[in-house]
Amino acid sequence: MMTFHREGRFIMLLSTLIFLGLSLMNYKFLAPAYCSLFWILELGFVVLLYLIVQFFRIPKRTCQGSDLDIMCPADGKVVVIEEVEETEYFKDKRIQVSIFMSPLNVHANYYPISGEVSYTKYHPGLFLVAWHPKSSTDNERSTCVVKHTNGTEVLFRQIAGALARRICYYAQTGDQAKQGEEFGFIKFGSRVDLFLPLGTKIDVVIGQKVQAKLTKLASLN
């Protein structure tokens, strides 16, 4: 079973209306005399509309993580696992795990752990490609930190990409986060970074395809 995200309702409606208008003009001006070109353009319109609509799909899933599991917050591919200096909140060394989302992935984002939201902040910025080294610090992004009941804090950051032009985040400081519940959405491409305590055992590898709510990234100590 699949539904569509509320963030896409206007875009899907507008895209459908534009598609119908283009199809009407295509039929009026090309169908009688240029049949082959008409069908090529019509197929292109259908494919484009399909890609826009499927971008906002939300598959029905049940989170499979236990209380101490750090579950994947987004669909995509693991592109970074490394020790870095986290400069916004922790201001110390952390293990960064980054998940790149292509335009074909589901783009809803989910809490990786349960706990209290202890920090949130939105940063306007650039729209560098999501794999650019400076996208983590220079692109439009939002930062959220959840503190587990055992005292461990996990930071995760939505990062806009070259195509992503709007980050939607719903988490607010003081909220009670529940593992597997949605905290945000990114429109058209991008990345999610997680910053975990040093010594955390990572259960994924670079290049691995992961799924939100289903793939275990690591475990809380």
Give pLDDT tens digits for 115-172.
999 999 998 876 566 555 555 666 788 999 999 999 999 999 998 865 545 788 899 9
Per-domain residue ranges of the chain: 2-59, 69-219
Percentage of residues of the chain with pLDDT beyond 90:
52
Which residues belong to the active site?
190
| 3-state per-residue secondary structure call for the chain | CEEECHHHHHHHHHHHHHHHHHHHHHHHHHCCCCHHHHHHHHHHHHHHHHHHHHHCEEECCCCCCCCCEEECCCCEEEEEEEEEEECCCCCEEEEEEEEEECCCCCCEEECCCCEEEEEEEEECCECCCCCCCCHHHHECEEEEEEECCCCCEEEEEEECCCCCCEEEECCCCCCEECCCCEEEEEECCEEEEEEECCCCCECCCCCCEECCCCCEEEECC
CATH architecture type of domain 69-219 = Distorted Sandwich (2.70)
pTM for this model (two decimals): 0.80
Give pLDDT tens digits for 73-111.
999 999 999 999 999 999 999 999 999 988 788 888 999
